[in-house]
């Protein structure tokens, strides 16, 4: 069994613990034509690929930092691929 406790919502920078909401992205509009929006509600044990530690840089362990750097590399790679395709299409 895999332990995701190090990267769970409860320990994420973007997680609002009192309301169990993820604040990573903008809130989503409600259905039905209202002008209201809602933040995604998640369980504290949930996790995703966008985890960011709440701890200051000095207090993070090396595996947490390595995972965050890998996530950034993945994002940069995806952006470079999209930009490359767009430039090739011109």
Range with the poorest average pLDDT among 14-18, 38-42, 66-70: 66-70
> What is the H or E stretch that residue 65 is in?
helix 62-89
pLDDT tens, position by position, 44-87? 999 888 888 776 655 656 665 666 667 666 666 777 777 777 77
pLDDT of residue 4: 46
Number of residues that this document lists for the chain: 90
- Which of 26-30, 39-43, 44-48, 50-54 is the least confident region? 50-54
Phi-psi region of 59 (alpha: psi -120 to 50; beta: other; left: phi over 0): alpha
pTM for the full predicted model: 0.54
Q: What is the mean predicted confidence (pLDDT) over 29-37?
A: 84
């Amino acid at each position: 069994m895999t332990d995701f406790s190090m990267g769970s919502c409860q320990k994420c920078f973007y997680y609002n613990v009192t309301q169990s909401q993820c604040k990573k992205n903008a809130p989503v509009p409600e259905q039905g034509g209202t002008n209201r929006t809602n933040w995604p509600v998640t369980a504290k044990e949930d996790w995703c690929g966008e985890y960011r530690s709440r701890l200051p840089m000095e207090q993070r362990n090396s595996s947490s930092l390595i995972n965050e750097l890998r996530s950034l590399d993945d994002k940069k790679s995806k952006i470079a691929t999209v930009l490359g395709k767009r430039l090739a299409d011109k």
